[in-house]
Amino acid sequence: MSTFESNLRRRRVELQFRKVTQQILRYPPWMYVVGLGLLSFISYMLLRPQAMRIGVPPLFYSDPSDSTESYPIFPDASTANLISVQATRQKAVVGAFKHAWKAYERDAMGSDEYHPDSGEGTDFSGDGGIGYFIVDALDTMHLMGLRSEYERARQWIQDELSFKRNGMYSTFETTIRVLGGLLSAYFLTSDPLYRERAIELGERILPAFNTPSGLPISTINLATIEDMQGGLRGGMGMAHGNIAEVASLQLEFKYLAEIAKNETFWRKAENVMAVVNKALPENGLAPIQIDIYGGSFIDSEIRLGSRGDSYYEYLLKQYLQTDRTEPIYKKMYDTAMQGVHDKLVQKTPTKGLTYIAPLTPQRLLKGGKTWKTGNRQEHLVCFLAGSLMLGATTSGALSQGVSLPPLPEELTPQGRRDWKTGVELLETCMRTHETATGLSPEIVTFGTDPEGSDRDWYIQDSSMVRGGSPPYDARYMLRPETVESLFIAFRLTGDPRYRDYAWNIFSAIEKHCKLQTGGYLTVLHVDQTPVRRFDQMETFLMSETFKYLYLIFGDSSVLPLHDVVFNTEAHPFPIFKPSIKPGFF
């Protein structure tokens, strides 16, 4: 039997199971006792928990925009064609990954960064690289079944990777990319090599937390670990940090603590959240700047883009990672999302596009301050669409098992609100791909004048002459946030339009970012063709963008959302009940 036939047969068995379990879920227990007798009642009680646990979806899903249309998950007449189309798309994504990896391996193997046009690699330290690119891409290779590429990468990690580099490294980036990549590889393969290297790296990062407040310093010298045990000396960095970097290390250090059986990793990460929670304003919205020494926020912008984004992402994911055993994170997440809806959610005056505005503090002449609402949204903010939808079906659900997509009666009022905003925000993010290239700009500005242009958004300073430098806002840096939200949206709805959106984005990347000699480049202006490009291929193309594209076109049983959480670099970790007793509730 071919792989295709095997997968198809398995899907048909799944559908039959769903039919049976949905019938079970329709009726209350007393009807089984009365109508079918004790044996049926026992069967009901045995099967119902399993059905609820896996979140058995209905056989038909409805459009998230409240359309009255319904569609079968697998229409009988076109099942084979449906699977064939998605398999072809998935194969194309694998081909793109191989195209990028082959060039990197040829030109820059071992380097932290890669510049495909010049065929060169660079490191974050003059003392050599610490595997940023390789480790970040490792789990994607494994998922795609690229055995030979994976084995060569593993060999490099075993033989060449060294963390004894005398240079300053970002605590945050090293944690989410390198530590996160090693932890994910261990989760997927159980290879002890990755566990050992993850523990070593974690121990080298730990001194970053030796500040008066316990908040981690922004940069650290991994080589001089023995000189930093005393705290703020040696390789420590600046005193001001940002909330995303400070409070987006927890998924990694908690999972590391679990596999290393080392409570120190857990307590260091957990203490950060206790300090942040104490400093938060009542509305749960965190200014992006925080005093590392004192543990208090500094007057600064509130935004869900750069320097703020993953803090909010990790509130929900910390609650989910430990199997909902730490309700404090649900409380912090729910409070923050209420604040987002009260202060940040905006709509354009003409077409009603939903976007997330930043807030900027302004001093008043007579003392005090006020907050100015902006009208710009970074591409980074598009993560929130999927996060809201995931939150609606977990934190905002009345029980752990919801339909696909969730029915209104299965969600709390907050869950229904968050689901609606998530769907609308994702549509806005897709609208920003309506450019000459089909790629979304780094930052869009939304119109606020009802009498203004018919177009609700534009790229600021996009009138720049062709010979000049394009504005930063106009570039596309191979970012994954919209694709990430499309992946989550598809997993939670089964709606094929999200796959089609993802395919359109991938096609645009192939057309405008791909370098024929190998690799992919940043596009400097998404609304100008032919494109001008910048010689940079970010590691998140390999770890996030291609991974989410691969997963959205594949079987949803691979890394199901009820079994894993993805860190902010798209490295999957398991959901587990912690063996370490949480100390922050």
pLDDT in tens, 466-504: 556 789 999 999 999 999 999 999 999 999 999 999 999
Between CA 505 and CA 503 the distance in angstroms is 5
| Tens digit of each residue's pLDDT (9 = 90 or more) over 414-472 | 999 999 999 999 999 999 999 999 999 999 999 988 877 678 999 987 665 455 678 99
Find out whether 568 is annotated in a ligand binding site: yes
| Residue 463: predicted pLDDT | 60
Residues that are catalytic: 173, 309, 442, 481
% pLDDT > 70, the chain: 82
Residue 550 has pLDDT above 50, yes or no: yes
**Whether this model's pTM surpasses 0.75:** yes
pLDDT of residue 28: 54
Does pLDDT of 81 surpass 60? yes
How far apart CA 104 and CA 255 sit, in angstroms, is 30
pLDDT over 60 at 238, yes or no: no
Lowest mean pLDDT among 172-176, 374-378, 467-471, 533-537: 467-471
User: What is the pLDDT, as a whole number, of residue 12?
Assistant: 44
Interatomic CA distance for residues 409 and 202, integer angstroms: 44
- β-strand partners of 170: 219
Query: Mean of the per-residue pLDDT values for the chain?
Result: 87
- pLDDT tens across 194-213, in order? 999 999 999 999 999 999 99
E strands of 8-147, at which residues? Answer: 60-62, 70-72, 113-115, 120-122
For residue 151, with 0-12 CB atoms within 10 Å meaning exposed, 13-18 middle and 19 or more buried, which class applies? exposed
Contact between 493 and 476 under an 8 Å Cβ cutoff? The reply is no
Q: Which of 243, 235, 230 is nearest to 292 (CA)?
A: 243
pLDDT recorded at residue 583 = 82
Distance CA(169)–CA(159), nearest Å, equals 22
Residue 161 pLDDT more than 90? yes
pLDDT (mean) for 11-23: 47
Residue 32 has pLDDT above 60, yes or no: no
Beta pairing partners, 242: 289
What pLDDT score was predicted for residue 83? 79
Would you state the pLDDT for residue 69?
A: 31
pLDDT digits (tens, 9 = 90+) for 35-54: 444 544 444 444 444 433 33
Which H/E stretch holds residue 111?
A: none
pLDDT at 515 over 50: yes
pLDDT band at residue 55 using 50, 70 and 90 as cut-offs: very low
The pLDDT value recorded for residue 59 is: 27
In this structure, what token pair is assigned to residue 404? 């696909």
